[in-house]
Chain A
Amino acid sequence: MIRNELSSKKPLNILEKIEESLEKLNDKIEIMIEIQKNGNTNNLRSPLQLPDASLDVMTLLSMPDHLRKTAMTICRCTRATAEEISDQTKRARAVESAYLNQLVIMGYLKKERKGRKAYFFIDKESLS
C-alpha cells in the first residue's frame, strides 16, 4: 500500500511533506527547549485554561522581556511568520519561532499553516 502511495505521488511532493513534518517537529523541539530553559510550565497557560487571554498593554507589561519584544512586534504586524518577526527584532528565526509558539501555548496567539509557512496572528474573535 505504501509502495502504491509512493509511486502515485511525485517525489517532490513527498520531500515537501517530509520537510513540513520536520518543521513541525522542529517547532515542538523549540518549545520543549524553551520550557526547559525557563524552568517549568507553570507560567505557560494553555488556551483551554484561559480562553479570554488578551494581548493588551498591561499583559505586555507583565511579560518577560524576551516574549514582550515578540508580542509587540506581532501586535504591529497583526499576522506574520517567524521569519518576518525575526527581520524586525533582529533575533534568529528559530528563537522567534520558539517565542511565538510559546505565545500560542499561552493562548495569546493562533497559528495557522499555509503550505510550508506557519503564520502567527492574534485571534480574530478577540479582535471583533
Chain B
Amino acid sequence: MSKIIAVHSYKGGTGKTLFSVNLAAALAKAGKKVCVFDLDFRAPSLFAILKTPNVDFWLNDYLNNTCEISKTLINLSSRIPGNGTFYACLANPSTEAIRDMSSKDRKWEMRALGRLLALRDALLKNQEFDYLFFDTSPGLQYSSINAIVAADYVVVATTGDRSDVDGTKRMLSELYNLFEKKTGLVLNKVLDPSPTAKKTEMQNKIKADYQVPMLGMVPCFCEVLRAEGGLIFVQDKPDHPFTKILTEMARKIENNEIE
C-alpha cells in the first residue's frame, strides 16, 4: 500500500503544491493522519499557502541533522474539517537557507536520502501517520530524486504544454522506470471539459502516450487561478468541482485503486 507519496513534475507551475496540499487535506478530511513536506528547497512555497506563523524548525534542520523530525511538524488540523490530523513540515524560505541548500555536496544528499528513508519508521510506524506527501521541486534535482526514491508512489503533474509533454515522457522512461516506481499521471489545466465519452477516449490516449496509468484529469478552473494559491479548496470550497476531483483521487489512493 502506498503510504509515502511524492508529487513531482518536469516543469514548474504544473500544480504540484496545489495537488499535494489538497490530496493531503482530502485524506485528513476522511479521518486520516497526514503530513505534507515541502521539498522544494530552491523555491519554498508551502509556508505561504498554509500561512503558518512562527516556524521554529524547518525540514532543512532535520535534513541537516540538527533536530528531530517531531520538532519540525506543525499541527494545522484545526484548519481542516472532520476528525483527521493535518501536519506540515516546511522548507525554510530565507535566502540564506536557499543558498545553503543549493550548495550541498553528494555526501550530504546521500545522508538526506537516509533521513528521508528514516521517516517511514519515525512517522508511519512510531507516530502512526497514515500518509506522507512530498511536494518536490520540478525536474531532476537532488532533493526531488531523493523524494522519489523514498516514496512508494509518485504523482506526476503535467499540462498539455508541449515543452512539458516531451520532458515528462523522458522523465517517466528515464527516471521512474529506472527506480521501478509506481506512478500515476495527473493531467492539469485541461482546457476542454469534454463529455464523458470523449473524456475516456482522451484518458486512453494519454495513457498510451505516456505509458503510465492516469490518476486523474483536472480541468482549468478560473476559480483556482483567482485564488492565487491562497485557498485549500478541500477546506474552503467543499462543493467546488476541483475539490470533488481531488477527493476522488485521494479515494483512489486510499483504496489502493492505483495500478
Chain A interfacial positions (CB closer than 8 Å to B): 52, 54-61, 65, 68-69, 72, 75-76, 78, 122, 126-127
Contact = CB atoms under 8 A, between A and B. Distances in A.
Interface in B163-198: 175, 178-180
Interface in B77-130: 106-107, 109-111, 113-114, 117
Contacts of B117: 75-76
A79 B149 CA distance: 18
Contacts of B249: none
A68 B178 contact: yes
Contacts, number: 47
Chain B contact surface mostly: helix
B142 interface: yes
Contact of B110 (A55, A68, A72): A55
Interface of B: 106-107, 109-111, 113-114, 117, 142, 145-146, 149, 175, 178-180
A61 B109 contact: no
B101 to A, nearest CB: 15
A57 B145 contact: yes
**What 7 pairs across the A-B complex have the smallest Cβ distances?**
A56-B110, A57-B145, A54-B110, A56-B106, A56-B109, A54-B106, A54-B107
A72 B149 contact: yes
A60 B150 CA distance: 13
B107 A57 contact: no
